[in-house]
Amino acid sequence: MTRADVDAQVRVDAVDGAARATTVTTRRGSFPTPCFMPVGTRGAVRTLAAADLEALGAHVVLANTYHLMLRPGADVVASLGGIHGFSGFRGHVLTDSGGFQVFSLGDGVAVDDDGVTFRSTYDGSTHRLTPEEAVAVQGQLGADIQMVLDVCTRLPADASALRLAVDRTAGWAARARHAERPDGQALFGIVQGGTDLSLRVESARRTAELQFDGYGIGGLSVGESRSEMIDVLGPTLAELPLDRPRYLMGVGDPAGLTEAVGLGVDMFDCVLPTRLARHGTVLTSEGRWQVRNASRLADDRPLDPSCGCSTCARHSRAYLRHLHMVEEPAAARLLTVHNLAFTLELVASLRAAVVSGTFAKRRAEVLAIWP
Catalytic residues: 96, 269
Task: Please name the helix (run of DSSP H) or strand (run of DSSP E) that holds residue 77, with its range, or none.
Answer: helix 74-79
Are 17 and 248 within 8 A, CB to CB?
no
Distance CA 146, CA 97 (A): 7
Please give the C-alpha separations between residue 258 and each of 21, 97, 168, 261, in angstroms, as whole numbers.
Answer: 13, 26, 31, 5
Q: Which of 61, 11, 19, 31 is nearest to 350 (CA)?
A: 19
The Cβ of residue 321 has, within 10 Å, a number of other Cβ atoms equal to 22
By CB atoms closer than 10 A (0-12, 13-18, 19+), residue 134 is buried
Q: Tell whether omega for the bond before 72 is within 30 degrees of 0, i.e. cis.
A: yes
Task: Please name the helix (run of DSSP H) or strand (run of DSSP E) that holds residue 138, with its range, or none.
Answer: helix 131-141
